[in-house]
Amino acid sequence: MDPEELYGVAYEEIRPENFKVYVGSEYLHPQLSPQQVHRISKPPQFENYNPCSYLGDIAIIELDKDISPMEASPICLPQKDEKLAKTFTAIGYGIDPNHPNPKNKVLNWLQAV
């Protein structure tokens, strides 16, 4: 799916078969740096997603198969009742209404929160 097609679409309406997942820091483009394509096994759940403000536009997705250690490193997720630290770091690439990118309506800058 083209990123322009995703702009303004409510995530709950996107079916898993429309997603292609590429992992690793070497991936640039399917024709320029071919890698294994992964699929999502079920639709992502965005419990607090607001399509008007883009708040809550983060989800954990489950892939249909394991990723090779040659492609990427796994992250560690806490257990259900595990005591958590007070501060976390999340890095992502997406829309930030406070710092719009005039060159691209869909995606903005890499950010650390």
C-alpha to C-alpha distance for 79 and 85, rounded to whole angstroms: 13
| pLDDT at residue number 8 | 47
Residue 47's identity, in one-letter code, is: E
pLDDT at 7: 47
Grade residue 10 by pLDDT with cuts at 50, 70 and 90.
very low
Task: Point out which residues pair with 110 in neighbouring strands.
Answer: 93
What sections of the chain are H helices per DSSP? 3-6
What confidence tens digit (pLDDT) does each residue in 47-93 have? 777 767 767 766 778 888 888 887 777 777 788 888 888 887 666 55
What pTM does this model have?
A: 0.47
